[in-house]
Amino acid sequence: MKKKYFINLLIVLLIITVSACKKEGTLNANLDAIDRNETAKTDLDRWIDDNYVKPYNIEVKYRWDAFELNLSKDMTPPDESQVIPAMQTVTDVWIRPYETVGGADFMKVNTPKQFVLVGSPQFNGDGTITLGTAEGGRKVVLYVINNFNKTNTQNVKQMIQVIQHEFTHILNQKIAFDPAFILITKSDYTANWNIPSLDEARSLGFITQYSRSNPIEDFAEMVSNMLMMGSFEYNNIVNALPADPRTKLRKKEQLVVEYFKTAWNIDFYALQQAVADAVDQTAPVILTNSIGPNNTYTTFSASPATETPQSAEFLGVWNTAKTALGAQGFTLDKYDMAFRANSMMTLRYYFTRGTTTYFADTDYKMNFDPNDVGRVKLVPLNPQPSGVTYGNMDFIRNSMTAVDNYIKNNEFRFDWAPNLVPGSKGAKGAFGAFYKIGNNDSYMIGTLN
């Protein structure tokens, strides 16, 4: 026991001696050499401060930090040159419409306080990809930043739709939606939502496949799709469905609209229009870039005498042709243009005798002016292809002279029609027009599909 005590006492004395020596020495540590992980602010950082931190207290995190993400996934950092275009679009198309309709303070109070940007998507084991996530009402992660193109309407809509979806979750975490929403399609939610088709999902009363995953995602999908489709496209989709799914979607729509009004005092339809206006100002749809195979629009069609109001000049030449064809014993009904590859177009007239409908075709080359967007000259091919429908055109050519001369002897500007329904640009069923160069009051209006 004496030996143990002696050793312990010796250790205590050594500790005291060492401590005393430390007090007597001079500390020459260079604390500036310690890495505090601080980075000098760049112009990009100052832009974020001015546009997000100061007005909204939102952090935009673009420098790579894997701990903000799923460590089990391989992802790519964002390209810094993409940050301002993406986040300016977020301001213009997401924040501003809410401020316009919900008041200046709405977004300051309710926005998530951090955006984390990722260059690539997050690839999931089930074959799907994640484009955005929200965590706890505070953080939104935006993926695919490196592929973002501010002038591309679909890029803009896709990114903002992700934010609208995640922001809906944040709003729902603060104020829950009506539980009646859950009951509308209660029996058709499924964990395997990505296997059945979109058509099947809509036949059951869901706006997207992902809506079927659970009621919370369903509500967020309703909000984000109604906002980013716009009223025209959304209503076209719903109205084309059979009665049962149409009724279910209208019930869901009603509960969404009521939620925004009662919970947040926001007119949802006004917000929908404000978003459509913002998209059109930020990334307007250029009609000439949207036609042709594998594109938004493949046809332009009209029944000038009965629907789709035409200009007085074109309606006049149409009626002249209609009278001439009537003298041949036929009724001129309508026409359409089929947009084909390599700027080719087939103009088809529909004419009838009794219950029989005939087709008469002419192929045109659409010569677009590369220096003047939308300006086009429609030039008939010479020679024309052979076949019954082209032969039919030879048969009625003299009667159609007035219309044919209007089309082939003028230059046009191909653009959206004057009676365009707000929010319909880029949607099936929108109206387009060929405006006669030198006289904007002379035009052909048609429905785009």
Question: Is residue 169 in a domain?
Answer: yes
Q: How crowded is residue 24: how many other Cβ atoms within 10 Å of its Cβ?
A: 7
* Calpha distance 15→73 (Å, rounded): 50
Q: What is the dihedral of CA 244, 258, 274, 247, to 10 degrees?
A: 10
Query: 73: which 2 tokens?
Result: 């996934």
Per-residue pLDDT reduced to its tens digit, 36-77:
556 788 999 999 999 999 999 999 999 988 888 777 777 888
Is residue 446 within 8 A of residue 336, CB to CB? The reply is yes
Q: How crowded is residue 81: how many other Cβ atoms within 10 Å of its Cβ?
A: 9
| pLDDT at residue 36 in the model | 52
| Residue 17 clears pLDDT 50, i.e. is over it | no
When pLDDT is averaged across residues 279-285 and rounded to a whole number, the result is 92
Question: Is residue 109 in a domain?
Answer: yes
| pLDDT at residue 338 in the model | 98
Cβ density class 133-146: b for 16+ within 10 Å, e for less: bbeebebbbbbbbb
Per-residue pLDDT reduced to its tens digit, 80-89:
999 999 999 9
| pLDDT at residue 10 in the model | 40
Number of domains in the chain: 2
When pLDDT is averaged across residues 133-151 and rounded to a whole number, the result is 86
55-69, 115-129, 359-373, 411-425: least confident range = 115-129
| pLDDT at residue 132 in the model | 77
When pLDDT is averaged across residues 148-162 and rounded to a whole number, the result is 91
| pLDDT at residue 38 in the model | 62
> What one-letter code names the amino acid at 199?
D
Structural domain for 425, as ranges:
288-448
Question: Is residue 35 in a domain?
Answer: no
| pLDDT at residue 23 in the model | 46
| Residue 2 clears pLDDT 60, i.e. is over it | no
- Find tokens 């046809």 and name the residue: 299
The reply to whether 271 and 346 lie within a common domain is no
The reply to whether 253 and 295 lie within a common domain is no
133's enclosing H/E stretch is: strand 132-135
| Residue 30 clears pLDDT 70, i.e. is over it | no
* Calpha distance 16→57 (Å, rounded): 51
- Of 284, 301, 325, the one marking the end of a domain is 284
Question: Is residue 38 in a domain?
Answer: no
The reply to whether 266 and 327 lie within a common domain is no
The reply to whether 275 and 304 lie within a common domain is no
The reply to whether 79 and 201 lie within a common domain is yes
Give the domain CATH number at 56.
3.40.390.70
Q: Which of 105, 127, 144, 118 is nearest to 60 (CA)?
A: 118
Q: What single-letter DSSP state applies at residue 201?
A: H
| Residue 137 clears pLDDT 90, i.e. is over it | no
| Residue 13 clears pLDDT 70, i.e. is over it | no
Most confident of 13-27, 44-58, 141-155: 44-58
The reply to whether 399 and 263 lie within a common domain is no
The reply to whether 203 and 340 lie within a common domain is no
Question: Is residue 13 in a domain?
Answer: no
Is residue 298 within 8 A of residue 345, CB to CB? The reply is no
Distances from the Cα of 267 to the Cα of 23, 230, 447, angstroms: 71, 14, 30
Q: Which of 422, 100, 95, 97 is nearest to 235 (CA)?
A: 422
Per-residue pLDDT reduced to its tens digit, 339-394:
999 999 999 999 999 999 999 999 999 999 999 999 999 999 999 999 999 999 99
| pLDDT at residue 37 in the model | 58
Question: Is residue 249 in a domain?
Answer: yes
Please report which residue ranges of 91-242 form alpha helices under DSSP H. 96-102, 106-110, 153-174, 180-184, 198-203, 215-239
- Of 256, 284, 312, the one marking the end of a domain is 284
The reply to whether 397 and 347 lie within a common domain is yes
Query: 24: which 2 tokens?
Result: 């007597």
The reply to whether 431 and 323 lie within a common domain is yes
The reply to whether 297 and 276 lie within a common domain is no
When pLDDT is averaged across residues 306-310 and rounded to a whole number, the result is 83
| pLDDT at residue 183 in the model | 98
Question: Is residue 313 in a domain?
Answer: yes
Cis amide leading into 242 (omega within 30): no
The reply to whether 192 and 306 lie within a common domain is no
The reply to whether 306 and 422 lie within a common domain is yes
Question: Is residue 204 in a domain?
Answer: yes
Query: 95: which 2 tokens?
Result: 């924040």
324 confidence band (pLDDT: 50, 70, 90): very high
| pLDDT at residue 129 in the model | 78
Is residue 416 within 8 A of residue 425, CB to CB? The reply is yes
- Of 253, 284, 315, the one marking the end of a domain is 284
